[in-house]
Amino acid sequence: MKLLVIHRLLLSCGVSVVTLLLSAADCRAEESNLEKIKANAEKGDAEAEFQLGKVYFTGNDVPQDYAKAAELYRKAAEQGNVKAQNNLAAMLLAGQGVKKDEAEAAQWFRKAADQGSALAQNNFGWLLTNGRGVKKNCKEAAQWYQMAAEQGLAVAQSRLAELFYFGADGMAVDYMEAAKWYEKAAEQDVVSAQNTLGVMCENGMGIKRDMMAAVMWFQKAAEQGDAKAQSNLGRLYSLGTNVDRDPLKAYKWLKLSADQNEVTAVNLLADYINGLTPDQVEEGQRMVGEYRAHHSKKQP
């Protein structure tokens, strides 16, 4: 029963969008040099075309214009600019500023991936995993994910781990490889990886069984609001299995998870709350409120 819940979690937590090479810091740096960038772009400078495309994409100092952004990305991409190739592909995949064309998106991601772009390698791997614009091929996807993962890209590490965990589409299940890559992603704060690594530590799947490590990883993900991790952490505190039983912490985490409609937590809390005193419930509610107040302050 527990593993079925885990599988549902992993399927729901896969990142389903590709990554563009955009950042607020980049765009702020561009604003002071906008005229220079425009002038260089008009001369056909590929990097300037890419930078100006980002400005139009984000709408910094110019009216936001996805079509113009795509046009500039294409000009730069055709000159071999790897960042423009990745971003153009992302826009083609989404139909953003251009007619949606998943096959062409795959072609541009592949061009950028062949040039060593970790983002594009990850994005092309995602297309292969999901059969978007290319024939589905999880074994080949794993190769691209691994290239990106070895460059330190956290999302690629998590996706590669997931393929090893499930043995997707003919791949052999390999919990040791899954644990290895989940740990790397978890250390970079990928929430779903932290929760799944906690599950693997709890059950000794591909890694030495370690309840303290399981609690640590569940805690890290739970503190970031992950409902599955909150449910897992609440379950451990409610049972006291190889960890100190703590009714208040159990209530807090199960309640936070149940309020996000996590089915396992809803069912566990319904039974668990009957064994608590009114004072314990009141204190648990105070802890829930304290958590929410603290985390609301962290929101931008």
**What's the pLDDT score for residue 244?**
87
**What's the pLDDT score for residue 299?**
54
Contacts of 226 (CB under 8 A, 6+ apart): 191, 192, 194, 195
CB 244: neighbour CB atoms within 10 A?
9
3-state secondary structure of 116: coil
Q: Does 75 lie in the same domain as 34?
A: yes
Instruction: Please identify, among 76, 96, 116, the residue that sits at the C-terminal boundary of a domain.
Output: 96
**What's the pLDDT score for residue 16?**
43
Q: Considering Cα of 229, then 230, then 231, then 232, what sign does the dihedral take?
A: positive
In the numeric block, the tokens 């009141």 are attached to 282
Pick from 175, 239, 237, 249: nearest CA to 207: 175
129 part of a folded domain: yes
As a whole number of angstroms, the distance between CA 81 and CA 274 comes to 62
Helix orientation angle between 82-94 and 46-58, rounded to the nearest 10 degrees: 40
**What's the pLDDT score for residue 2?**
34
Q: Does 81 lie in the same domain as 47?
A: yes
Q: Does 237 lie in the same domain as 296?
A: yes
Contacts of 162 (CB under 8 A, 6+ apart): 10, 14, 168, 178
As a whole number of angstroms, the distance between CA 242 and CA 136 comes to 42
3 part of a folded domain: no
159 part of a folded domain: yes
pLDDT (tens, 9 = 90+) of the chain, 300 residues, equals 233 233 322 222 334 456 665 544 444 444 568 999 999 999 999 999 999 999 999 998 899 999 999 999 999 999 999 999 999 999 999 999 999 999 999 999 999 999 999 999 999 999 999 999 999 999 999 999 999 999 999 999 999 999 999 998 878 999 999 999 999 999 999 999 999 999 999 999 999 999 999 999 999 999 999 999 999 999 999 998 778 899 999 999 999 999 999 999 999 999 999 999 999 999 999 999 999 998 876 654
Residues 121 and 156 sit within 8 Å (Cβ to Cβ)? yes
Q: Does 114 lie in the same domain as 89?
A: no
CB 239: neighbour CB atoms within 10 A?
13
**What's the pLDDT score for residue 107?**
98
In the numeric block, the tokens 């998943």 are attached to 102
pTM: 0.86
Residues 20 and 86 sit within 8 Å (Cβ to Cβ)? yes
**What's the pLDDT score for residue 210?**
95
Q: Does 108 lie in the same domain as 87?
A: no
Instruction: Please identify, among 133, 168, 187, the residue that sits at the C-terminal boundary of a domain.
Output: 187
86 part of a folded domain: yes
230 part of a folded domain: yes
Q: Does 69 lie in the same domain as 40?
A: yes
Q: Does 108 lie in the same domain as 88?
A: no
Q: Does 137 lie in the same domain as 84?
A: no
269 part of a folded domain: yes
**How far are the Cα atoms of 113, 213, 248 from residue 6, in angstroms, in the given order?**
32, 17, 24
Contacts of 116 (CB under 8 A, 6+ apart): 82, 147
* CATH for 160: 1.25.40.10
Q: Does 113 lie in the same domain as 92?
A: no
Residue 63 φ then ψ, to 5°: -60, 135
Exposed / middle / buried, residue 296 (Cβ in 10 Å: 0-12, 13-18, 19+):
exposed
> 35 lies in which domain range?
26-96
Instruction: Please identify, among 96, 129, 154, the residue that sits at the C-terminal boundary of a domain.
Output: 96
| DSSP state letter for 189 | T
Q: Does 108 lie in the same domain as 92?
A: no
Tokens of 262: 């996590």
**What's the pLDDT score for residue 26?**
47
Q: Does 114 lie in the same domain as 86?
A: no
196 part of a folded domain: no
Q: Does 299 lie in the same domain as 223?
A: yes
The count of structural domains within the chain is 3
**What's the pLDDT score for residue 31?**
52
21 part of a folded domain: no
3-state secondary structure of 259: coil
**What's the pLDDT score for residue 295?**
86
